[in-house]
Structure 1
Amino acid sequence: MEEVLFKSETRLDRAAIADHLRAVADKLESGEPVSLSAGSESVTLDVPARPTFEVKAERETGSGAPELSIEFELEWDEGQEGGEESGEFSVE
C-alpha cells in the first residue's frame, strides 16, 4: 500500500527546476532534513546517509503524443539508516 505524503506538479522553466534540485542537493549534502511545501501542503523528511537512488528515463505512449520523463527517487526503509551500494552512477 502506498500513502502519498506530498505531491506537487508545476510547469516551470529549466532554471527554476535547477534551483529546486540544487536546494535539495544542498540539504542532502549537509545532512539537513528536506522540507517540501506547496500551498497548504508540506512535509519534512530526514534522509538517511545512504538511501537508494533510483533514476529512470521513460517514454509513455498512448492516445496522444509520446511523453518523455526523467524521474529521480530516493528510497529508504522508515527508521533505517544505510543501504546497499549497487554500481556507479553518473550524469553527463
Structure 2
Amino acid sequence: MPEDVLFDSENRQSRAEVASYLRTFADKLDGDGPITLTAGGQSVTIDPPEQPTFEVKAEREGPADAPGELSVEFEIEWDEEQSGESAESSELSIE
C-alpha cells in the first residue's frame, strides 16, 4: 500500500524538549478530541480511536561492522474506518 505523508517534522532538540512534546501529545491522546500537529506552514488534525495499535521499535541503522544511527520510534496506527475493534497485545514497560 503506498504511503501518503500528511505531516513531517524533524529537528534536533534537547531531551527535555522532546519529553515535553511527548507529554503534551500524551495528554491530548488521553482526551476525547482530535489532535492537531503544526510546524511551519503545515498542519494536520488526527482523531485516534479508543483502541489504536501502538508500536515501539528501537533500531540501529548502518553497516553491521561500524557505528550507525540509533533510533526509537513510537507509532500509533489505525484504519481510517476503524470501529473500536481491539488488536492482540503484549504488555509494554518502560524502565
Tell me whether the two structures share a fold, i.e. TM-score over 0.5.
Answer: yes
1:1-92 paired onto structure 2 within 5 Å? 1-62=2-63, 65-82=67-84, 83-92=86-95
Tell me the CA shift for residue 30 of structure 1: 1.2
Q: Structure 1, residues 3-56: CA drift from partner, whole Å, max 9, x if none?
A: 000000010001110110001100111122111111000001001100000000
Structure 2 residue runs without a partner (length 5+): none
- AA in 2 matched with 1:56: K
CA RMSD of aligned residues (A): 1.3
Percentage of identical aligned residues: 57
**Aligned pairs, number:** 91
Structure 1 outlier segments of 4+, above 2 Å: none
Pick which of 20-29 and 30-39 moved more. 30-39
Structure 1 residue runs without a partner (length 5+): none
Tell me the CA shift for residue 85 of structure 1: 3.3
SS of alignment partner, residue 71 of structure 2: strand
**TM-score computed with the length of structure 1 as normaliser:** 0.91
Contact 1:31 1:47 in 2 (8 A): no
SS of alignment partner, residue 22 of structure 1: helix
